[in-house]
Every structure is written in structure tokens, then in C-alpha cells.
Amino acid sequence: MIAKRILFGQAPKIALPEGAIDSHMHVYSAQYPSLLGGPDLPADAACLEDYQKVQQWLGLKRVVITQPNAYQIDNTVMLEALDVLGERGRGVVVVTPDTTEEELEEWHARGARGARIMQLPQGAAGIDKLLEVNAKIKPFGWTCIVQFYGNEILEYVPTLEKIQGDYVIDHFCKFIPPVKPDSIEYNALLGLIERGNAYYKMAGVYESSKVGAPEYSDIEVLAKPIIERFPERVLWGSNWPHVSGPIENAPNDAILLDKMMEWMGSDQTRQQIFVENPQRLYW
């Protein structure tokens, strides 16, 4: 029997700012199987209609859908979801060196505004493709969203420093295990943000934290200094539907959102992270 995903519950204790944007989640469709090289679909498919219930629960108004690894370079499901959402949605697609200008034009018209670079197992386009992809999307004003293991950041800094335009370092920079704030790796992350074109996305904290719920304190000590120093360079994403583990282990989205909002500290900072920053990048 498939476990039932929680789609509604008690509202977050801290109210989101008006027009709040979820800058990272995924959608699937049971009508489209996963592709070779990608992971299996979630057991319950986790479709757009399910996510819209979560939006209502949390008080979210707009969303940036990120292409999931399951569909590799086929962006069909995500683009169809954008067709439904209209101006309420934007998308991060997978772009390869073989993607044509005509495809990019079509995807842009349908709401795509970024390209996903995934330097993790089952990712469709890795950092070796980053600069080629960056060159392809730059005329459209898109951003690269880059996910890698933060413990390997020193290897990737030379490439990241060559990116033209804005880009996003995904999933708290995914330090597994979490590093210390005085580590060379963490300071390399700070150096990239200080350059002025890197954003830091708060998403999937449970994937990196060894301490775990409810405090995630080993990630908190890394995230809060960045939030405090660079509030204009921070994004937040729900990472729904939390496919890194079984459905029954998925976090309660409202409780997790409250914890992330606590780290942000003030209404002004929340306004930047939930509204102003993603608005600037994607709308």
C-alpha cells in the first residue's frame, strides 16, 4: 500500500509575505515514466494538482518548478505544468550543448527562466557542461542553477567564477557531512557570493544535516551568517515532494517552513527571500 503524502494541515505559525514564491520544487506525472539514467518516479506520482494543495496550505502564490532527475533531458512534464500555471509559474529546465535556439525560444515563451546543472548521481547535465549551457542561455537572461557536493567546492570554484550573469548555488551548497564555519570550503562559498552574481538557495536542509529535525543546527550555523550578510542573494524552495526518501519520512512542510523563516529573522529579510529576490531572477 502506498503511503499517503501530507498535502494539507495546520498553517505555518509565521505568516509568509504577500506574493511569496517557492523557488524550488518538482512535478511528476504518472503518464510519463522516468527515463534511462534517472531515478524512479515517486510512488504517488506527486503531480501539479497535489502541489497546488500544498501551496494553499502554506500560503504560497507563485512557484519555480525545477526539472527533476527522473525525466533527464525531457522537459515535457514541467513545461505542461507551466502551461497550466501561466504567470504564476516559472521553470528551470535541463539544457544541453545540443539544445537549439528554437527550443530555448519556445521554452522561454512557456515560462522557462533557468537551466539546471546537477553534478550529482543521476543528474542530466553536469558541471562539465556548465559554461556551454551558460553561453546558450545568456541571451535569454536565464540563470544556471547549480547543485554539487559542497565538500568538493574547491574543485568547482574556477568554473563557477567564469559564469556570465547570475547563477544559483543549490540546496545550501549541500555540504555532506556539514563543514564548520571556519572551513576552507565554507569560506570558498562565501567568496563566491561576495563576487556578486551567486545566489544561495535554502532548500532540502534534511538532505545535508546530520543533526536532523527539528533544529538542523549543523546547517543553521552555515546558513544564518549568509542570510545576515547577503539577504539580497538568498532564495527559498520547499523541495517538494521530498523525493530523497520514502513518503512516510517526508518532513511536514509547514513545520519545516517555520524553521526556515526563523533563520531569516525579520519580516524585511523574509520579504527579500520569498518575494523580491525570486521576482528579480525569474519574473
Please give the full DSSP string across 108-149, using - where no structure is assigned: HHHTEEEEEEE-STT-SS-GGGHHHHHHHHGGGT-EEEEE--
Q: Hey, CA dihedral for 136, 140, 143, 147, is it positive or negative?
A: negative
- Please check whether residue 193 lies inside any domain of the structure: yes
Q: Which residue has the cell 501561466?
A: 86
Which of 246 and 207 is assigned the larger pLDDT?
207
* The predicted structure's pLDDT at residue 44: 85
State the helix-helix crossing angle for 153-160 and 184-194, rounded to 10 degrees.
20
Q: Inform me whether the pLDDT recorded for 4 exceeds 90.
A: no
- Please check whether residue 15 lies inside any domain of the structure: no
Return the amino acid letter for 212.
G
**In terms of pTM, does the model score above 0.85?**
yes
pLDDT tens track for 61-75: 999 999 999 999 999
Distance between CA atoms of residues 238 and 269, nearest Å? 17
* The predicted structure's pLDDT at residue 2: 55
Please give the full DSSP string across the chain, using - where no structure is assigned: -PPPPP---SPPSSPPPTT-EEEEE----TTSPPPTTSPPPPTT---HHHHHHHHHHHT--EEEEE--GGGTT--HHHHHHHHHHGGGEEEEE---TT--HHHHHHHHHHTEEEEEEE-STT-SS-GGGHHHHHHHHGGGT-EEEEE--GGGHHHHHHHHTT--S-EEE-GGG--SS---TTSHHHHHHHHHHHTTSEEEEE--HHHH-SS-TTT-HHHHHHHHHHHHH-GGGEEE---TT-TTS-GGGPPPHHHHHHHHHHHH-SHHHHHIIIIIHHHHHH-
Say which CATH number the domain at 200 has: 3.20.20.140
Number of domains in the chain: 1
Whether the Cβ atoms of residue 11 and residue 51 lie closer than 8 Å to each other? no
Short-list 248, 261, 167, CA closest to 205: 261
- Please check whether residue 233 lies inside any domain of the structure: yes
State the catalytic residue, choosing from 69, 75, 134, 239. 239
- Please check whether residue 101 lies inside any domain of the structure: yes
Short-list 278, 146, 259, CA closest to 209: 259
* The predicted structure's pLDDT at residue 249: 81
pLDDT tens track for 72-109: 999 999 999 999 999 999 999 999 999 999 999 999 99
Residues 6+ apart with CB under 8 A from 220: 263
- Please check whether residue 168 lies inside any domain of the structure: yes
Q: Inform me whether the pLDDT recorded for 192 exceeds 90.
A: yes
- Please check whether residue 244 lies inside any domain of the structure: yes
Q: Which residue has the cell 537549439?
A: 100
Least confident stretch, 4-13, 56-65, 82-91, 263-272: 4-13
239 is catalytic: yes
| Owning domain of residue 186 | 21-282
pLDDT tens track for 147-166: 999 999 999 999 999 999 99
Distance between CA atoms of residues 2 and 246, nearest Å? 10
Q: Inform me whether the pLDDT recorded for 244 exceeds 90.
A: no
- Please check whether residue 13 lies inside any domain of the structure: no
- Please check whether residue 2 lies inside any domain of the structure: no
